[in-house]
Amino acid sequence: MPVALPAVALSATGSLLLGFWIGVPWLVPILNAAPAHAVMSWCLLRGARRKAVGLMLWWALWMAIAATALIAADPWGNASAVVIHGADYAAEMQRWVATGIGCESTPSCFVPQQLFHAALFSVLALATASVAALTMGSILMNYMSFYVASVASASARPMLTAVLGWHPWAIVRIISFVILGVILAEPLLCRLGKRPAMAGRLPWILVAVGGLAADILIKTLLAPTWSELLRRIVAG
């Protein structure tokens, strides 16, 4: 694990730098997902489920840090073109921060969207041993990072804004998606790898589903005041 941690962090950061340097939007999430999937598969095929979950959570953390920093710096001036749905999502969320009005504070809007994302992610994880699911997850992470970088860049207190821009409910959702991505990859991955399936998947799935439910509850309760908190910090 000590050797794997810096390797995963470097792969997440390097995949983003390479993707932005090449500048092809659809290639970025593929580059992001490829090394992560290789690490996850290596762990699962050796029966190390906990290690796989831990390393994938570490990967998600570094994806958030590196993507937010890279988009804010925008060294090649192409972030808005390279990040799929990034500019549109950032504009929508900046309006929410400025006014408190938007999908982020409206359960009738965000609940169906999040349920659809969770269902699609789960189907992709089962059908592709999480190859497509991790690519989808990278797209979601990158456009969330674009929003955080955008609002932090316009803030009087950018570092604090960058931290709080990763809303607590979003963090719970990312953790839940990571767990689902690992656990739902197992059946096909073990079949392809010709090794017996590991037992004990259900508790992990229940934790992930509970996290998705908690995400909706926390978002419903906190989003209206969170936008006000961000608005005050941005204004200084």
Each residue of 16-39: pLDDT tens digit? Answer: 999 999 999 999 999 999 999 999
Amino acid identity, position 68: T
Question: Percentage of the chain surpassing pLDDT 70?
Answer: 99
pLDDT score of 2? 63
Pair of tokens at residue 134: 């991790």
Q: How far is CA 225 from the centre of its chain?
A: 23
Binned at pLDDT 50, 70 and 90, residue 197 comes out as confident
Q: Rounded to 5 degrees, what angle do the CA atoms 59, 182, 186 make?
A: 145
Q: Which of 136, 163, 42, 139 is nearest to 86 (CA)?
A: 139
pLDDT score of 40? 97
pLDDT score of 53? 98
Does residue 3 surpass a pLDDT of 70? no
Of 124 and 194, the structure prediction assigns the larger pLDDT to 124
pLDDT score of 4? 85
pLDDT score of 167? 98
Q: Which of 169, 184, 84, 89 is nearest to 134 (CA)?
A: 184
Q: Are 209 and 217 in contact (CB under 8 A)?
A: no
Distance, CA of 99 to CA of 95 (rounded, Å): 6
Q: In 10 A of CB 112, how many CB atoms?
A: 10
Q: Which of 219, 17, 22 is nearest to 110 (CA)?
A: 219
Q: Tell me the per-residue pLDDT of 131-182, one tens digit each, with 9 for 90 and over.
A: 999 999 999 999 999 999 999 999 999 999 999 999 999 999 999 999 999 9
Q: Which of 178, 32, 78 is nearest to 118 (CA)?
A: 178
